[in-house]
C-alpha cells in the first residue's frame, strides 16, 4: 500500500496525518506531497524524516491511494492525472462533489455504493457531513420532508491564515485580513462567495450535497451559514420536519445507535455539545433535542463536530479504510 497525502503541510493535511496514525491505517510507503514551493523541504512524521515532493513527482510514483486537501483548482488539475495512473483519489475540496459521475461519500451512509472503478471520490463539505451523519437513521425511521439549518462555523474551516487573523485581533496586533471584516468578537453571515440567488456557495453546498448523499431530491433544505470566532469545531442548529410523527425517547434511542454519533442531551446538568469538547474528536455530537411546538412532526437538534476531523480528515481516512478493507485499493 503506497499512500499519498496531497496538501500535507496544511491544516487539514496535518490532521489527516494524525488520524492515519490514530486509526493505524495500513500503509507500506507514505508520500507527503505539497506545492512546488514546499517540495524538497523536510517534514517529520512519527519520528521519521520525509522529503516533501511536488505533484508531478507524486504522480510518477503511482500511489494506490491519494488523499487530497489542496484546494479545488489543484484537485481539478491533478486528480485526473493521479486517476489516470491507477490511483484512487479521495478529495476534500468542492471540485468533484456535484459531478454526477463521482460518488459523494460519508462512509456511515453510502460507502456501500463505492465500486472498484471509482477513481475519484469526493469528500463532502464539513458542515454537510456532521448533519447527515446525525440524521441518517432518523431519516430511515421517519423520512425527512424538510431541513432548516443554521451553522456556527469555526475559523479553522477557512485555514491557518484565518486562525492567525483572529488571534492577532485578539492580541490587539495588526492582522492580515482573510475575512472582509474583523472576526474576533464578531459574527459573519458570510461563508464563501455570494450566489445570484442571495445564498452563499457554502449554503448551496449544504443544500445540494445533502440531497446527493441521501439520494433523495425530494428533501427540501434551506441553509444559513455563519462564521464565528471559535476553534475546535462547527455547530449547527437543525430543524427537521419528518414525514411521520416521532416519540422523543425513540429519537434518543435511535441516535444512541447511530454509527459515529454521541448523544449529549442532559440540559438539566448543562450537558450538551460544544466545540470546546468536540475538539480532536472523530464523532458527531448531538443534543438539545426538543419537539418544534409550532408545527407537527418536527424536531430541533444541536449538532457539533470537529470540522478538521469528521468534517474532513477522519471522513477521508474512513473512506480509504473502507477501500482497503473491501480490497478495492
Instruction: Report how far residue 250's alpha carbon sits from residue 257's, in angstroms, rounded to the nearest whole number.
Output: 11
* Strands ordered across the beta sheet of 2-6: 29-33, 2-6, 65-68, 88-91, 120-122, 103-104
Phi, psi of 30 (to 5 degrees): -120, 130
Residue 38 marked ligand-binding: yes
Burial bucket for residue 279 (CB in 10 Å: 0-12, 13-18, 19+): middle
Residue 227 marked ligand-binding: yes
What 3-state class would DSSP assign to 301?
strand
Answer yes or no: 234 catalytic.
yes
Contacts of 264 (CB under 8 A, 6+ apart): 271, 272, 273, 285, 286, 287
Residue 258 marked ligand-binding: no
The catalytically annotated residue of 23, 126, 181, 326 is 126
Residue 307 marked ligand-binding: yes
Cell of 42: 523536510
Residue 237 marked ligand-binding: no
The catalytically annotated residue of 23, 234, 279, 326 is 234
* Strands ordered across the beta sheet of 298-305: 220-227, 144-153, 234-242, 298-305, 284-291, 261-263
Q: Which residue, among 99, 23, 327, has the nearest Cα to 91 in the 3D structure? A: 99
pLDDT tens for the chain, 329 residues: list them.
999 999 999 999 999 999 999 999 999 999 999 988 889 999 999 999 999 999 999 999 999 999 999 999 999 999 999 999 999 999 999 999 999 999 999 999 999 999 999 999 999 999 999 999 999 999 999 999 999 999 999 999 999 999 999 999 999 999 999 999 999 999 999 999 999 999 999 999 999 999 999 999 999 999 999 999 999 899 999 999 999 999 999 999 999 999 999 999 999 999 999 999 999 999 999 999 999 999 999 999 999 999 999 999 999 999 999 999 999 98
Residue 37 marked ligand-binding: yes
Instruction: Report how far residue 124's alpha carbon sits from residue 131's, in angstroms, rounded to the nearest whole number.
Output: 11
Cell of 84: 489516470
Q: How distant is the alpha carbon of residue 249 from its chain centre?
A: 29
Q: Residue 51 in contact with residue 42, Cβ under 8 Å?
A: yes
Q: Which residue, among 153, 34, 121, 154, has the nearest Cα to 315 in the 3D structure? A: 121
Residue 119 marked ligand-binding: no
Amino acid at each position: 500500500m503506497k499512500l499519498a497525502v496531497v496538501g500535507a503541510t496544511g491544516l487539514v493535511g496535518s490532521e489527516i496525518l494524525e488520524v492515519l496514525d490514530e486509526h493505524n491505517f495500513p500503509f507500506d510507503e507514505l508520500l507527503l506531497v505539497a506545492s512546488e514551493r514546499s517540495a524538497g523541504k523536510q517534514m517529520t512524521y512519527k519520528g521519521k524524516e520525509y522529503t516533501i515532493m511536488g505533484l508531478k513527482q507524486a504522480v510518477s510514483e503511482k500511489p494506490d491511494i491519494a488523499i487530497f486537501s489542496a484546494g479545488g483548482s489543484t484537485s481539478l488539475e491533478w486528480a485526473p492525472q493521479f486517476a489516470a495512473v491507477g490511483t484512487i483519489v479521495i478529495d476534500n475540496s468542492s471540485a468533484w462533489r456535484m459531478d454526477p459521475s463521482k460518488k459523494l461519500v460519508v462512509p456511515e451512509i453510502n460507502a456501500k455504493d463505492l465500486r472498484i472503478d471509482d477513481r475519484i471520490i469526493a469528500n463532502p463539505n464539513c458542515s454537510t457531513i456532521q448533519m447527515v451523519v446525525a440524521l441518517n437513521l432518523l431519516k430511515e425511521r421517519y423520512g425527512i420532508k424538510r431541513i432548516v439549518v443554521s451553522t456556527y462555523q469555526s475559523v479553522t474551516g477557512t485555514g491557518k491564515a484565518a486562525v492567525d487573523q483572529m488571534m492577532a485581533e485578539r492580541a490587539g496586533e495588526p492582522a492580515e485580513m482573510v475575512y472582509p471584516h474583523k472576526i474576533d468578537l464578531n459574527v459573519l453571515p458570510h461563508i464563501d462567495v455570494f450566489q445570484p440567488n442571495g445564498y452563499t456557495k457554502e449554503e448551496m453546498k449544504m443544500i445540494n450535497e445533502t440531497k446527493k448523499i441521501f439520494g433523495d431530491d425530494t428533501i427540501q433544505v434551506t441553509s444559513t451559514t455563519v462564521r464565528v470566532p471559535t476553534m475546535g469545531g462547527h455547530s449547527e442548529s437543525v430543524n427537521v420536519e419528518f414525514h411521520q410523527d416521532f416519540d422523543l425517547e425513540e429519537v434518543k434511542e435511535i441516535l444512541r445507535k447511530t454509527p459515529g454519533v454521541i448523544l449529549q442531551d442532559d440540559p438539566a446538568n448543562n450537558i450538551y455539545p460544544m466545540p470546546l469538547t468536540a475538539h480532536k474528536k472523530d464523532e458527531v455530537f448531538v443534543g438539545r433535542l426538543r419537539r418544534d411546538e409550532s408545527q407537527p412532526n418536527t424536531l430541533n437538534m444541536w449538532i457539533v463536530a470537529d470540522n478538521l476531523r469528521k468534517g474532513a480528515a477522519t471522513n477521508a481516512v474512513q473512506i480509504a479504510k473502507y477501500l482497503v478493507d473491501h480490497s478495492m485499493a
